[in-house]
Amino acid sequence: MATTAKQNLSLGKLRRAIDGNNSYTAAMSMSKASGSALTSSGSVKMSDFSISAVGSLTGFVYLWESTAENYTLGFTNAGGLFLNRIGSRTENFSWTKTGNLNVAFSSADYQATVTAAAISNANTGTGADDDFFAAGSKNQSGSLQVKFTEDGQSDGYNDHATNYNTNRTKAIVVVDAYGGSPSCLLEGTDIQLIDGSYKKVEDLEVGDWLRTIDLPGAIDEDYDNWRQSRFEEGFEPTFHSASVQDINFDFSQTYWDINNGLEKITGEHEMLYKPVGESFWMWQLVPGMKAGGQLMGKDGSSIEITSLEQVHSEDGFEVVQIDVEPLDFYFGNTFLVHNKGSNSDPF
């Protein structure tokens, strides 16, 4: 890339951006700026450390309580040494928050790990009914903010860049995992690990590897149109593993019983489904399914839906939701089910 018009090509400012030395007149060389030995044979240009604009702040809209996600500040026309020498310095970035978000920042250079604290569901009322909170009623909302200002200086090496010394924001919601979303499996559901053993869904731990399947052409859940994925019948299943990233406990007053107990799952949870008379598989919620349709079993076979029963109780049911990666689906008690949701829709 080329340096931007009117950019101040100051070695002193570059040094401050790289090592925080507060003297614009201290000795400096391009080899030192690059992090190489003074005898470095590679050519180093001022433009290698330059950007033309500070971009947007990206990351998940929905952050579950007691979990962490990475949020990243983008740059336009970044030189080859910019991220390593300038973007990697925490002194060049200021991360803040707005609203009622109870989050903490760590490793906060151009990318920050944002960790949400647990949300208390303690009963603060006087009646027994106060123990119940409607789904999402204790969610937290606000914005993450990050400002790129080299060594805190308004006149830094990249002060020519658009949005330099300006907060870039990302609106997020910290989701109350208990009462936040009913997209879950019932406690007691057996989940198969990659080694063939089983654990109850409530006993899973972050880092457990589960048995799953590769679906050619599946759209990643980070994209809003992942539910539009279609898979032609007859494809050869390839079995893989997926790692548990998040585990959330919830409460639901209803669930669906499929085929007399083969799967007990809430109605907001997508499953891989082949409609009656169709030749393709798709993601579908249980209320949209019909007897005679097909669900995918753990060996990749098609299993006909013979019964769908909605079960309701005022006392409610304990349910568990998990998030797996890098594939976004896993086998429940019997059938293939999808993850917790996408960047824009966690439910």
Q: Is 128 helix (H, G, I), strand (E, B) or coil?
A: helix
Q: Which residue, of 120, 145, 175, is where some domain finishes? A: 175
User: Does any domain span residue 37?
Assistant: yes
Domain count, the chain: 2
Let me know if residue 344 belongs to a domain: no
Give the separation between CA 296 and CA 231, rounded to whole angstroms.
12
Question: Among 338, 287, 292, which residue's Cα sits nearest to residue 309?
Answer: 287
Q: What φ, ψ does residue 11 adopt, rounded to 5°?
A: -65, -35
pTM score, two decimals?
Answer: 0.58
- Give per-residue pLDDT as tens, 228-244: 889 988 887 789 999 99
Residue-level pLDDT at 4: 62
pLDDT at site 337: 92
Residue 83 lies in a domain: yes
| Digit-coded pLDDT (tens) for 106-133 | 999 999 999 999 887 643 333 344 444 4
Q: Are residues 136 and 212 in the same domain?
A: no
Q: Which of 62-66, 190-194, 339-343 has the lowest mean pLDDT?
A: 339-343
Secondary structure E strands in 61-182: 62-64, 68-76, 93-97, 103-106, 111-116, 140-148, 167-175
Please say if the pLDDT value at position 264 is more than 60: yes
Helices and strands of the chain, counted as H and E runs: 3, 22
Is 222 among the domain residues? yes
Residues counted in the chain: 347
- 190 and 287 inside one domain: yes
Angle value at C-alpha 242, between 269 and 185, nearest 5 degrees: 25
Once rounded to an integer, what is the mean pLDDT over residues 323-340?
Answer: 88
Pairing of strands 263-265, 231-232: unpaired
Which residues are registered as beta bridge partners of 302? 296
Residue 105 — very low, low, confident or very high, per pLDDT cuts 50/70/90? very high
What's the rounded Cα separation, in Å, for the pair 238 and 255?
A: 30
User: CA distances (Å), 345 to each of 60, 62, 93, in order?
Assistant: 10, 8, 29
Instruction: Transcribe 200-215 into DSSP letters.
Output: EGGG--TT-EEEEEE-
DSSP β-bridge partners for residue 86 = none
Of 114, 149, 175, the position where a domain reaches its end is 175
Distance of CA 144 to the CA centre of its chain: 15
4 part of a folded domain: no
Q: How far apart are CA 168 and CA 145, in angstroms?
A: 6
134 pLDDT exceeds 80? no
Q: Indicate which CATH number applies to the domain containing 147.
A: 2.60.40.1080
Which residue bears the tokens 């007399």?
A: 260
Strands 308-325 and 185-186, by their bridges, are antiparallel
Phi, psi at 174, each rounded to 5° = -90, 120
Q: Are 80 and 48 in contact (CB under 8 A)?
A: yes
pLDDT for the residue 127: 39
Angle at 173 between CA 169 and CA 177, to 5 degrees: 155
> Does the pLDDT at position 273 exceed 90?
yes
Domain of 227 in residue numbering reads as 185-338
